[in-house]
Structure 1
Amino acid sequence: MTEDLRPAVGLARRRFLTLTGAATAVAFGTNLPGSAAGTGGTSGLTGDPFTLGVASGDPLPDAVVIWTRLAPKPFDPLGGAPYQDVGVDWQVAADEGFRQIVRSGRATARPEFAHSVHVDVRGLQPGRHYWYRFRCDGYLSQTGRTRTANAPGQRGGRLTLGVSSCQAWTDGYYTAQRHLASEDLDAVVFLGDYIYEFGIAANGGLRNVTDPVPSQFRTEADTLDRYRLQYALYKADPDLQAAHLTAPWITTWDDHEVQDNYAGAISKSNAPIEDFLVRRANAYRAYWEHLPLRGPAPQGPNYMLYRRFDFGRLARLTVMDTRQYRSDQAAGDGWKVDSEARRDPARVMAGQQQTRWALDGLNRSPATWNVLANQVILSRMDLDPTAGDLYNMDAWDGYGAEQKVLLDGLAVNRHRNPVVLTGDVHAGYAMDMKRNYADPSSQTVGVELVPTSFSSGGNGVPVSANGQKFLDGNPHLRFVDERRGYSVLRFDEKELRVDCRVVPYIDRPGAPISTVRSFVVEAGNPGLNTVGQEVTVR
C-alpha cells in the first residue's frame, strides 16, 4: 500500500457500510479461518445447503482447494443459514465411486464468511484426477472432479486448458459453460469479470426470464451483502456449476468484480478514496468467499491475488492482477490519441513489484511454455486504420512505459515461448507479439491469445465494424471473432494447439458449438500458424 493511502484506509475502517438483516459480516474483520479441520455447532439449516454447487481450484502438484458455500436460501441475507458456525464434512477420493478415499475431514463454515468453505487438501499425488464432495446435516453435495498439477521437474506430458472470461448473467445463457463442461480439461483459466456489479432488471436482461428476478437485485452492488447476492445469482446457474464440476479453476479478476474501469483506489465516478476503499473491501471479500482460492481471506481493501503455477517442466502459468495496483487511466479513460500522459513512466498498470516478480519468474523458468494470464490487451492495438492512432487508455496501451518494460522482458525471453492470455474485450483475437509494432516485418517474440467471453456482449457477430478496423489497422492481429465461447489450449513439448470455439447465440438455450479457427505455435519458433477453418464439433 502506498503511504498516501494509509489515512484513507483508516477512515474507511471507521465508515464501513452497514449490512441488511443477518448479513453483518465485516470485510475489514481479522477473525480469519484457520485450518480446514474444525468443529461446527448444530446447523439449524432448513433445506439443501448446496444450492450454489461445488468447485475446485489453484492446483499444485500435491494439493488443490475444494470449495462450497452453505446457502439453503441463496437470495436471503446470509444465504438462509443461521448466524453460527456449521460443521461440514468433506471427502476426496481416487475414484468417482468414493471406494478409495484418500483424504477426508471436517471444515467449519463460518457466518462471517457467508458460510463458505475453502479446504486446502494436501498430500495428493501429482498429475492425477480426484473426486470430492461435501456433506452437511444429511445433505450430500454434487461430486466434483479435480486434478493436481504435474510433478515438479517432470519432463514431457501434456496440459490442456480451457480459457475464457467475462460472464455477464444478463447478457444471455451460459451455453458456452455447458459445452466447456464436456471438454476433457486439466484446468480452466478464467481471466476476469466473474460477475458484473450492475443492477438487474426483473426480466434478467437478454435471458428474458419468466420468473422475475427478485427486487433486491435492482440496485448496483456496493455493499458486502449486495455483492454476495450477485455471486449467488451467478453461481446458482446450472451451466456454470457444471463447468466448475469437471476441472479446477484458476481465476483472476478484472474490473466488474468491483466497479467498471476502476483503477487502484480510484473509482469510475471519482468517489472519495475512503468510500471507494470500503466498496473495494466488500467486493474483494465476496470474491474470495465464492471462488476456490486459498486463505487467508482479504483483510480490508487489499488481497494478494497474483500467483504462479508450475506444471512440471512443460508450462509455467503466471497469473497477474492489473486492477488493484494501477494508476488512474490517462486522458480521462476511453480511446484517445497518443499523449505524454500515456507514456508517463510514473503511471503503472501492474506496479513495479508485480512486474519485477513476473519477469523474474520468466527469467528463471525451467518450463518449455511460459503463459501469462492477464486481464487486458498487452500488445499494441490501434483502433484507427488510417495514419492516426487511437489507443485504449484502460488497456496496457494506456500505460506505455510499463507496457514497454513487460514487452521487452518477453522479447528477451522469446526462447522461453511466451504466451499471453487476455480477457476483457468480449471477442476472440489471436495476434503475434512484435518487437516493434510499427514494423510488421519485425521479429515475432511470442503470441497473445484473447479467448472470447462466455456471455458478455450477447449473441455477437463474426466480425463487427470495429473488429474490421482492428484487422485493418493492426497487421499483427491474425484473427477476430466476436461471438461467445472459449478456447482450448493443448500444450506438449513440441507445440501449442489453440482451438477457438464459439456458439451462434446465447439469447436462448441449446446452441451448438463449433471450432471457428485453430492455430499451432511451434516451441522455439514464436508465431501463429493457421491449421483449420470452421468445423462443427457438437
Structure 2
Amino acid sequence: MFRRNAFGQFSVDDFLTEAGTPSRRRFLTGLAASGLLLTSGGVIDQRVWANPVFAAYPFGLGIASGDPSADGFVIWTRLAPLPLARNGGMPMKAVEVAYEIATEANMRGNVQRGTALARPELGHAVHVEIAGLQPNRDYFYRFSCGGERTMIGRARTLPAAGASLERVNFGVLGCQRYEDGLFTAFRHVADERFDFVFHYGDYIYEYRMVRPNERPLPVARVMPGEPDEIYALADYRQRYAIYKMDPDLQLAHASAPWIVSFDDHEVDNNFAGMVSEENIPPEIFALRRAAGFQAWYEHMPLRRTSLPNGPWIQAYRRFQFGDLAQMDVLDTRQFRSDQPCGDGSHAACADALKPENTMLGEKQEAWLGEGLRASQARWNVLAQQVMLMRHDRDPDPEKTGYSMDKWDGAIAARKRLFDTLESARIGNAVVLTGDIHQNWAGELKADFDDPRSKTLGVEFVSTSITSGGDGADMTKAGQAGLKKNPHIGFFNNQRGYMRHSLSKDRWQADYRVLDKVTVAGAAVSTRASFVVEAGQPGMRPA
C-alpha cells in the first residue's frame, strides 16, 4: 500500500522504497522512459543525442547551486543554445552533460565528476544532487557538453547537524520585474560572497511585455520578442530564459548556493490556492499552476523532492545551520485561503477574522509547529513571502486599511503562529519577508493594539531587485505607515537587497540599496542597519 503525500498525491518515494519488487522495477523503467530519472546511472536510452554539435553556446542561461545540506547541494544548468527559440533550440532528445566538483576555484582538487541526462521532458534542465562532501566548506563546480564548458560556480555545504558554528552571512532578495530596471543589484550580491542567498519569490512576472510610454513608471528595457501574458509551459520557459540571460543574475547564481521559494508571479498575480485572480474555474487554473510550477522547478536548483506533481509542488522545507540557526522556508501561496473581502485593502474586514482562514494550510502549520517545538537552534528563522506583522496602510489617521493578501487577511492563522512561538518558547525568532517592493523593519507583538505587549520576534522585509523602478528614500505612505504602526521602526522605498550576519549573540540586518536601477553601474550603499541581541526580543539601530 502506498501512502499519499502532503498534497493527497501518491509519493514517488513510496515507489522507490519497494526495493526489488516488480512494481518498483516497472516504475523505474517508466521513470527512465519519461525523463524523470535525472542522473544517467547507466540507463540505456535510444533517444540520447550522441556527440552533440550546438547551433550556439549551449549554457547561455548560466549555472546555479542550491538546497545545501551538510554533505552536498544541488547543481543546475539548462541546455538552451537558442534560449528564446522553441525548445531552447534543442532537439527532442536527451543529452549527456558532464559535471565536476572541486575544492579549489581553479577546479583543482577534483573530488567528484560524473554525467547527467538533460531530458526534453524537463526542458533539457539538469539537476544533480551532490552528496558525500565535507560539511561547512566551499566547493566549486562546472558543466560541459559538446566541447563547451560553463563558467565555474561556487557552492557551500552546511555545517554538520548540531555542530558549533560561530557565524553565518547570507543575502535576501526577490521581486525582479524585467522592465522596471537593470539587474545591477545582482552584481553587488555576487561581490558579497554570501554563504547562501534566500530568494523569497517573484523571480519572473507573468504579465505581457510593456513598451515605453504605456505606463507612468519608466520602462528601463523591453522584453525581447514582445511576449504576451504567459499561460502554457513553453511560455513560462521562455520567460525564465529572458530573465536568466541577464549576466548579472548569472553571476549572483554562480557566487553562492541559493535557497529559493516562490510567491505569486511565478504563476499568476495574487493567486491563492486554486483560486486565480481572474476567477478562472479551478480545474482550468490547475493547468496554469502546473505549467508555472514545472517551469519554476526546471529553472531553480531544487532537489527531486520538489519535482512537481501536476499543480502541486513540495516547496516548504527546513535547513539546519549547525547549532546556530534553523531556517523554515514557508509556502504562503499553495495552501492558503482565498483572500477575504474580495482582496484589496479593507478596514475591519469581518471575513479576515474567520477562524478557518489559513496562510499555510493545516499540514504545513503542523509541520512548522513540530519543527519549532523541537528546535535547539540559537536562532529560528521563518523565510517566507508576505508581511506577517500587522500593517495599517490607510494614511488617514481616522481610518484603517489592511491588505487582504498579507497575514492581515488571515488573522486567526497569525494568532496560531504567535501562540506556537510562545508555547515553544522561541526566544530568538526572525522573519524574513519580501513581496511589497519596499524595505520595512518591525517587531512582532503579542497584541498589536498594545505597544507594551510582549515582543515575540522581529520581521525584516526586503525590497525588490527592480520591481517598482528607482523609488525614493521616503514616501508619504511610508511616513504614514511609521506613524500609524508603532511596532514598525523603519521604511525605505529604494531597490536593493538585504545582508544578514548572525553569530551566537547578535544578528545584524543591513539594508543595501541602489540610488537607481534604470541606469547601468549604480553603486550600492547601506541605508540602515539593525541589531537583534540573542535573548532580548526586539531590534535596535546598529
TM score, norm. by length of structure 2: 0.90
Deviation string 1:370-398 (CA, Å, 9 cap, x unpaired) is 00001001111111352432111000000
Distance in 2 of aligned mates of 1:36 and 1:287: 19
1:376 and 2:386 aligned: yes
Deviation string 1:95-141 (CA, Å, 9 cap, x unpaired) is 11222111111000001111000000010111000000000000000
Q: Is the 8 A contact 2:165 2:321 kept in 1?
A: no
Alignment of 1:185-200 (within 5 A): 185-200=194-209
Report how far residue 472 of structure 1 moved.
1.0
Gaps in structure 1 of 5+ consecutive residues: 7-28, 532-538
Instruction: Tell me the secondary structure at the aligned position of residue 420 of structure 2.
Output: helix
1:409 and 2:420 aligned: yes
Alignment of 1:413-428 (within 5 A): 413=424, 415-428=426-439
Distance in 1 of aligned mates of 2:248 and 2:460: 25
1:239 and 2:248 aligned: yes
Distance in 2 of aligned mates of 1:299 and 1:426: 31
Q: Which residue of 2 aligns with 1:492?
A: 503
Q: Which residue of 2 aligns with 1:455?
A: 466
Instruction: Tell me the secondary structure at the aligned position of residue 182 of structure 1.
Output: helix
Q: Which residue of 1 aligns with 2:309?
A: 299
Instruction: Tell me the secondary structure at the aligned position of residue 34 of structure 2.
Output: coil
CA pair 203-295 structure 1, distance change in 2 beyond 3 A: farther
Identity across matched positions, percent: 44
Distance in 1 of aligned mates of 2:383 and 2:237: 26
Deviation string 1:279-318 (CA, Å, 9 cap, x unpaired) is 0000000000000001152121000100000010100110
Distance in 2 of aligned mates of 1:32 and 1:439: 56
CA pair 288-2 structure 1, distance change in 2 beyond 3 A: closer
Q: Is the 8 A contact 2:223 2:242 kept in 1?
A: no
Q: Which residue of 2 aligns with 1:55?
A: 64
Report how far residue 184 of structure 1 moved.
2.5
Counterpart selection for 1:168 from 160, 170, 177: 177
Alignment of 1:251-290 (within 5 A): 251-290=260-299
Distance in 1 of aligned mates of 2:34 and 2:81: 24
1:343 and 2:346 aligned: no
Report how far residue 156 of structure 1 moved.
3.0
Report how far residue 445 of structure 1 moved.
1.4
Distance in 2 of aligned mates of 1:504 and 1:208: 15
Q: Is the 8 A contact 1:414 1:446 kept in 2?
A: no
Q: Is the 8 A contact 1:435 1:443 kept in 2?
A: yes
Q: Is the 8 A contact 2:35 2:120 kept in 1?
A: no
Distance in 2 of aligned mates of 1:337 and 1:373: 28
Distance in 1 of aligned mates of 2:163 and 2:261: 26
Distance in 1 of aligned mates of 2:487 and 2:7: 41
Aligned partner letter, 2:335: Y
CA pair 207-72 structure 1, distance change in 2 beyond 3 A: farther
Q: Is the 8 A contact 2:186 2:249 kept in 1?
A: yes
CA pair 76-444 structure 1, distance change in 2 beyond 3 A: same
1:41 and 2:41 aligned: no
Instruction: Tell me the secondary structure at the aligned position of residue 116 of structure 2.
Output: strand
1:366 and 2:376 aligned: yes
Q: Which residue of 2 aligns with 1:444?
A: 455
Which range moved further: 197-206 or 428-437?
197-206
CA pair 30-256 structure 1, distance change in 2 beyond 3 A: farther
Aligned partner letter, 1:408: D
Q: Which residue of 2 aligns with 1:431?
A: 442
Which range moved further: 296-305 or 86-95?
296-305
Q: Is the 8 A contact 1:45 1:82 kept in 2?
A: no
User: RMSD of the TM alignment (CA)?
Assistant: 2.1
Q: Which residue of 1 aligns with 2:487?
A: 476
Report how far residue 203 of structure 1 moved.
6.0
Instruction: Tell me the secondary structure at the aligned position of residue 244 of structure 1.
Output: helix
CA pair 48-4 structure 1, distance change in 2 beyond 3 A: closer
Corresponding residue pairs, total? 507
Distance in 2 of aligned mates of 1:238 and 1:4: 37
Aligned partner letter, 1:148: T
Report how far residue 409 of structure 1 moved.
1.6
CA pair 132-203 structure 1, distance change in 2 beyond 3 A: farther
CA pair 444-144 structure 1, distance change in 2 beyond 3 A: same
Counterpart selection for 1:514 from 514, 525, 535: 525
Aligned partner letter, 2:40: A
Aligned partner letter, 2:515: P
Aligned partner letter, 1:410: L
1:129 and 2:138 aligned: yes
1:314 and 2:324 aligned: yes
Report how far residue 64 of structure 1 moved.
0.2
Report how far residue 37 of structure 1 moved.
3.2
1:214 and 2:217 aligned: no
Q: Is the 8 A contact 1:411 1:446 kept in 2?
A: no
